[in-house]
Amino acid sequence: EVQLVQSGAEVKKPGESLRISCKGCGYSFDSYWISWVRQMPGKGLEWMGRIDPSDSYSHSSPSFQGHVTISVDKSISTAYLQWGSLKASDTAMYYCARHPRGNTAMDVWGQGTTVTVSS
């Protein structure tokens, strides 16, 4: 079965660092890009950026550039979303999703990782 399995919920304090993960199963991981999507509580979906596992090239939305880092370890079929210094406004659900290379729709989604940032 094709699936993306995300890491578990996180509770952090402002200023702390965090890395969450997304493991691809049941398909050729480096044949599809991985995107990250944020959903703040009770709100809509925001595309954050994407990465090509075959060459690790990533591309982020200007809204998130400089605040998050998207990376990948294709040897273990896993993509990552990382923060160096969390803010309370990072509290949200984060989804990873795969899509064929290029301008294509996101056809398989992870179950989501809840990140709560609170002092």
Cα–Cα distance, 119 to 114 (Å, whole number) = 16
Asked if 55 touches other proteins (CB under 8 A), the answer is no
The number of residues making up the chain comes to 119
Two structure tokens written together for 44? 């809509």
Residues 50, 58 contacting (CB under 8 angstroms): yes
Asked if 45 touches other proteins (CB under 8 A), the answer is yes
Q: Pick one of 92, 110, 115, 117: the residue that binds other proteins (CB under 8 A).
A: 110
Residues 50, 40 contacting (CB under 8 angstroms): no
Asked if 63 touches other proteins (CB under 8 A), the answer is yes
Output the smallest distance, CB 102 to other proteins, in A: 9
Asked if 61 touches other proteins (CB under 8 A), the answer is yes
Asked if 103 touches other proteins (CB under 8 A), the answer is yes
